[in-house]
Amino acid sequence: MSTFKKKEVNTMADKQDSAYKLTAEEYKKIKDEMEVRLSDLQQKIIKAKIPVIVLFEGYATSGKGSAISSLILNLDPRGFEVHTTRRPNETEERLPWLQRFAVRAPELGRIAVFDRAWYSGLTWVGADQGEQEMLPYLEDINTFERQLAADGVVLIKFFLSIPKKEQKKRIDKLKEDKNTSWRVTKEDERQNKHYEQTERFYKAMITVTDTPYAKWHVIYAKDRRYTRAQVMQTVAEALEAALANPPKADVEGPVQPKVSDRFHLLPAPRIEDVDLNQVMTREEYTEKLDALQDELSELHNVLYNKKIPVVIAYEGNDAAGKGGSIRRVARALDPRGYTVHPIAGPTPTEKAHNHLWRFYTKLPRTGHIAVFDRTWYGRVLVERVEHFTPTWRIEEGYQEINEFEYMLHKWGCVIIKFWLAIDKDEQLRRFQDRQNTPSKQWKITDEDWRNRDKWDQYVEAVDDMIKYTNTNFAPWTIVEADSKYFARIKTLQTVIDSIKKRLGK
């Protein structure tokens, strides 16, 4: 199908309407064919576990609803959802702007139909604050769509275009009937009045977000039958192309992390070069603990008041003391302002989504603190060592994670990342202690022992992880954790320092 850039169909004046029109008969023929073809394709998509997004954007009154109808009435409702988009509510406003769309991404084999979705925000930004404000949003959109596509999501984006006069006619008609007049918003009328400006805006938007992985299909939507037929045909062709596209074969061999030079990476030590054997007496510990908890407690109030969100990510060797360290941080916090998210293996639903999806669902609201006990770094740790994920996807993971954290950073989030490191002998001592203490036995599993057997592979994975994700906006802190006291104090102190830095204190 045509893209905006190639055909410039959006410049209406010189278009012959007759080329974008269907008779009732012509339409009926296409529709009947499509009913069978789309229904059949949907079954194949389900079987092939291909996730699909069909997105509709366009001028007010351009017929997005009718176009969506023509598509979904051919589909089995067990395989799709329709997501309409309104302005964000208060809860959504306290999360990164893409969050509410990211969590609605389709599972494997499902079709998500979006009415406007992440492009709607642009219009509001454009209308409320001026067009130049939309650049950071466009950047987020392209990153987001590229990440979806990397997982095999088929992205089909429609832009429905109608000329100024036609829009005016439709608005007037809606306003005449009291049962439809409420559908016309002030924004719609403003759009028609400033049609030329809107057109420039949309052109820029489409140009920048028309990418190889997420093309725009611009439809001249004056004729409803023509529009519906175009939508059905385009979707059918895109699904057929996706089904014909064989899944990318994995290549065996060492993982070579891929990161763009878009982000500045800070130098970082290798775990092997860090002296893990730091010492702290019980006395020093209790004294410092108390003072630091008081300080953090007060900072929590300030954060809440200033509505600054905080993410604290804990990674580390098994038995390195993450739980005990998290508890010392948690004790200083108001339970209504923080959540600890323990991260285990993904559930089937989580597995059917992008690897970052389950973290989008757990982001803190502004002013809140989210503590992750294990994190999105599972992608480049356990998934890498255990070969749960194809090598090429792992390699892309580093960049995806940097982008995810950059999104949090832009949103205003303080990001604190810990690697709690213990040496191999210390781990053995702790494993044995857990096994010999009845009340601690639930803490140790066969998996812990299996992981231990892969110690060297983990060291390699951790070194790569720190090297390629040690950005200036989300730096790693390596915590020498052979001494629990030392580790707890260092994490607490780091949390406090990071927050104070953000507060300019």
Residue 180 burial (10 A CB sphere; 0-12, 13-18, 19+): exposed
**x/- contact string, 270-309, with its own copies (CB under 8 A)?**
----------------------------x--xx-xx----
Least separation in angstroms between residue 117's CB and its own copies is 12
Tell me the site size for its own copies, rule CB under 8 A: 50
Site for its own copies in 25-44 (CB under 8 A): 36, 39-40, 43
Q: Which is nearer to its own copies, 195 or 360 (CB)?
A: 360
**x/- contact string, 43-62, with its own copies (CB under 8 A)?**
x-------------------
Site for its own copies in 386-425 (CB under 8 A): none
Interface with its own copies, residue 132, by CB under 8 A: no
DSSP 471: B
Least separation in angstroms between residue 42's CB and its own copies is 10
- CB-facing half-sphere around the CA of 82: CA atoms within 13 A: 16
Report which of 168, 216, 214, 182 is spatially closest to residue 59, judged by C-alpha positions.
168
> Considering only 63-71, 260-268, 426-434, 491-499, which stretch makes contact with its own copies by CB under 8 A?
63-71
Distances (CA, A) of 127 to 131, 379, 420: 8, 39, 47
Interface with its own copies, residue 182, by CB under 8 A: yes
Beta strands in 283-401, from DSSP E residues, in sequence order = 310-316, 338-342, 369-373
Q: Residue 152 region, left (φ>0) first, then alpha (ψ -120 to 50), else beta? A: left
Least separation in angstroms between residue 260's CB and its own copies is 35
Q: Find the radius of gyration of the CA atoms of the chain.
A: 27
Is the separation of the CB atoms in 34 and 233 below 8 Å?
A: yes
Tell me which of 136, 247, 269, 342 binds its own copies, using CB under 8 A: 342
Tell me which of 113, 255, 296, 320 binds its own copies, using CB under 8 A: 113
**Rounded CA separation 282/489 (Å):** 11
Site for its own copies in 433-472 (CB under 8 A): 439, 442
Least separation in angstroms between residue 132's CB and its own copies is 29
**Rounded CA separation 57/262 (Å):** 30
**x/- contact string, 76-105, with its own copies (CB under 8 A)?**
xxx--xx-x----xxxx-------------
Least separation in angstroms between residue 123's CB and its own copies is 16
3-state secondary structure of 277: coil
Beta strands in 14-62, from DSSP E residues, in sequence order = 52-58
Q: What is the widest separation between alpha-carbon atoms in the chain? A: 88
The residues of the shown chain that bind its own copies, judged by CB under 8 A, are 36, 39-40, 43, 64-65, 68-69, 72-73, 76-78, 81-82, 84, 89-92, 113, 115, 179-180, 182-183, 298, 301-302, 304-305, 323, 326-327, 330-331, 333-336, 339-342, 344, 347, 349, 373, 439, 442
